[in-house]
Amino acid sequence: MIKKINTLFVTMFGLGRIPKIPGTIGSLVTVILLYIFFHILDLSSILIFVFLIVIFVFSFKAVALHIKDNANKDPKEVVIDEFIGQSIPIFMYEISHGTKKSFDEAIIFYGVCFILFRFFDIVKPFPVNFFDKKFKNSFGVIMDDICAGFYVVLSLICFMIFKSYFI
């Protein structure tokens, strides 16, 4: 029973079992969920932050349990790491821009975050590739996506700085 619940958690309720592009689907569902949390349900940033921290902390143990008897230490069905990594730039944007955003502004931003996150998660620039290759455990599975999420944040900050100089 615990193993089944754990599998549901690490696969985001079975999304990771979709045969084609499970990581991309996990990221897309994360974007949709966060949009609903922030813009439709209008949940408190603190409540969302606590939710994300609980997911983050629990995921280390859950992923470790899931891959314990698996020869592949980063199986494609584990997509909770995509949820964590994709959440970073969206959450940071939402708390750094406390004003209400228009539907168009939010959709564009969420779309850019999605595309950039998938790019960095697939291309794996350093240190994303470092965690992916050197740590064949739950830490490596999760940290490469966290790094990819922070690459998105860094890219957007650089874009805003660049934009402020030329516009």
Could you report the per-residue pLDDT of 84-130, keeping only the tens digit for each? 999 999 999 998 876 677 778 889 999 999 999 999 999 999 988 88
Counting Cβ atoms within 10 Å, is residue 146 exposed (0-12), middle (13-18) or buried (19+)?
Answer: middle
For residue 24, the one-letter residue type is T
Query: How many domains does the chain divide into?
Result: 1
pLDDT exceeds cutoff 70 at 18? yes
Tokens found for residue 164 = 């402020």
Tokens found for residue 17 = 């079992």
pTM as predicted: 0.91
Range of the domain at 38: 2-166
- Sequence-distant (≥ 6) Cβ neighbours of residue 100 within 8 angstroms: none
Q: How far is CA 43 from CA 40, 83, 97, 148, in A?
A: 8, 18, 15, 26
